[in-house]
Amino acid sequence: MNVYPVELEAPDIGPYRAGNCGIDYVSTFDSGRAGPHLMLAALTHGNELCGAIALDWLLRQGVRPLAGRLTLGFMNVAAYARFDRENASASRCVEEDFNRVWSPETLDGARDSVELRRARELRPLVASVDALLDIHSMRHAPPPPLMICGMTRKARELALGLGTPAHLVCDAGHAAGRRMRDYGGFADEASPKNALLIECGQHGERASATVAIDAMLRLGRIVGG
């Protein structure tokens, strides 16, 4: 049973399965002009609907980058395929948390799971990204939207430049494993790559989708896409 209301409708992402870059549920759009590669990621956890709604909205609007590349990725689609609004938390993952496997040791190791296979498939793409926004929501109530910046100055500056949400959290990562936000150059102060993780509100909260759309549009303007 849910411990939170589910006000959102889970979008049908089936039309996006083929994508256009050789990876299911991932679409990349190249402006043909020099510029950064921005990735907007949703469904890192299969029960976090706000990001899926935001990407579905963006795809239906036909938004394209003015410079550089824009990639829209639905991440843990196997977990999302199990979504049941009467027991939404059960679709967070299939075998393990997709957002705790992003260390070279784990990705290159012998362990296997649904989530690891998907992360390994996505790894070359994520490695090519200059700026990442990983879109999440939270279980606990009442949660104001939060930007989870990590420990780098560059991430804090990018988050402050967005102007939203009002609350920023600078953390050293998750004890259970490395997040996608901290993969490779994202967590290296010397690298030009940058990444943010936004918590848009409570799972299922209607306003969380609005927060997700607003954040990704703001980041698109800042990054230059």
Query: By residue range, what is the domain housing residue 151?
Result: 14-223
Look at residue 2 and tell me if it is in a domain: no
Q: How many domains does the chain have?
A: 1
**Among 28, 7, 4, CA closest to 16:** 28
pTM (whole model) above 0.85: yes
Please enumerate in sequence order all residues whose Cβ is within 8 A of that of 202, keeping only pairs 6 or more positions apart, or say none: 4, 137, 138, 139, 140, 141, 142, 143, 208
Look at residue 134 and tell me if it is in a domain: yes
Angle formed by the axes of helices 153-162 and 206-223, nearest 10°? 110
Look at residue 5 and tell me if it is in a domain: no
Write down the pLDDT at residue 5. Answer: 85
CATH number for the domain that contains residue 128: 3.40.630.10
Look at residue 183 and tell me if it is in a domain: yes
Look at residue 177 and tell me if it is in a domain: yes
**Among 140, 72, 134, CA closest to 98:** 134
**Among 141, 164, 44, 52, CA closest to 96:** 44
Q: Are 134 and 41 in contact (CB under 8 A)?
A: yes
d(C-alpha 212, C-alpha 206), whole Å: 11
pLDDT digits (tens, 9 = 90+) for 104-127: 999 999 999 999 999 999 999 999
The total of other beta-carbon atoms located within 10 Å of residue 157's CB is 11
Whether pLDDT at 1 is above 60: no
Look at residue 119 and tell me if it is in a domain: yes
